Structure 1
Amino acid sequence: MLETCRTSQERWGGVHQLIDRWLAERNQLILDYTQLRKRTPVPDSADTALSAFCDVLVDYVSAGHFEIYEQLLREAQDFDDQRGIELAHQVYPRIEAITLEAVAFNDRYGQTASIIDETQMQQQLEQLGGLLHERFELEDCLIEVLHTAHKDLLGAV
């Protein structure tokens, strides 16, 4: 999953500063996820690694919905990119469903003040990891389609 993120940054990192920041946040999310998946159970309730992961998770999915997707759709409309607009309408419902799962995970574990069931949390984290991987692929597809279309249009001017 981490290598996919690095490849995405290399391909689209210069497209827009907003996307650069978002892809860097994705990288941090993956690093925090990997750290949580490899850890041994935490003996007390002060679970800073889980809390940090949840903070980045919420920031990442929120930026997608309230900044990135809006910007990508606006760019597609500005360039009259029907392919990009259609793709966005196709993938947004799935991205939104994954967002709801991420928010539910955060609601369960983000501000926990009690000792958690590590086994259950790890199972839910693993499921979330699969959903995030799917989401990253959908997001990359959106960025690629929109960037490629706009790059071609700008090159023709």
Structure 2
Amino acid sequence: MLESCQNAQERWGGVHKLIDRWLLERNELIKAYDALGAEPGAFSEKRVPLQDFCGTLVDYVSAGHFEIYEQLTSEAKAFNDQRGLELADTIYPRIDVITEKLLAFNDLCDQGECVAEKFKELGGLLHERFELEDCLIEVLHNAHKEQVEEEV
């Protein structure tokens, strides 16, 4: 998972400072996930790291929904990028479903009911979300890059 995050950062790192910061947050989220996943079943002994992970998770999800997706959609509208807007209409509902599951995991942890099997499910959800986000960024960035080059 960490390698795909680094690849995304290399591809779009300079696109927008907001996205740069978000990709760094993604990297921190992956590191925190990997650190906790190294010893499955040890959640009771790792309460503080698990709380830190959940905080990072909620921050990442919130940034996506309240900053990044809004920015990408605004850019697509500004560039009259119908393909990007159609892709967003297709991808956002799935991201919303994943977000609900991620936040439900956080709620379980807040209630002290977090278990290793739910944590492992979280890895697959994060992986899918990252792929969807990468697709959205790639389509919007490439469309805008081509339009800017045509204008020059």
Question: What is the TM-score when the length of structure 1 is the normalising length?
Answer: 0.91
Q: The residue matched to 2:139 in structure 1 has which SS?
A: helix
Residue 20 of structure 2: aligned partner: 20
How many residue pairs get matched? 150
The whole-number CA distance in structure 1 between the counterparts of 2:48 and 2:25 is 18
Unpaired runs of 5+ residues, structure 2, are none
Unaligned runs of 5+ in 1: none
**CA deviation vs aligned residue, 1:96-153 (integer Å, no higher than 9, x gap):** 00000010011111x35x5x56xxx111011111011000000000000000000000
Superposed CA deviations along residues 19-60 of structure 1, whole A, max 9, x for unmatched, are: 00000000000000001111262555x711100100000000
CA distance in 2, matches of 1:104, 1:78: 35
1:153 aligned onto 2:147: yes
Q: Distance in 2 between matches of 1:135 and 1:42?
A: 24
Change beyond 3 A, Cα 1:42–1:129: closer
Identity of aligned residues (%): 58
Matches for 1:1-157 after TM superposition, within 5 Å: 1-39=1-39, 41-42=42-43, 44=45, 47-109=47-109, 111-112=110-111, 121-157=115-151
Q: Which amino acid aligns with 1:100?
A: E
Q: Secondary structure at the match of 1:47?
A: helix
CA deviation string 1:55-109 (max 9, x = no partner)? 0000000100000000000000000000000000000000000000010011111
Q: CA deviation at 1:14?
A: 0.4
| Runs of 4+ in structure 1 over 3 Å off | none
Question: Counterparts of 2:57 and 2:4 in 1: how far apart (Å)?
Answer: 17
Tell me the SS of whatever aligns to 1:39.
coil
Q: Distance in 1 between matches of 2:7 and 2:104?
A: 29
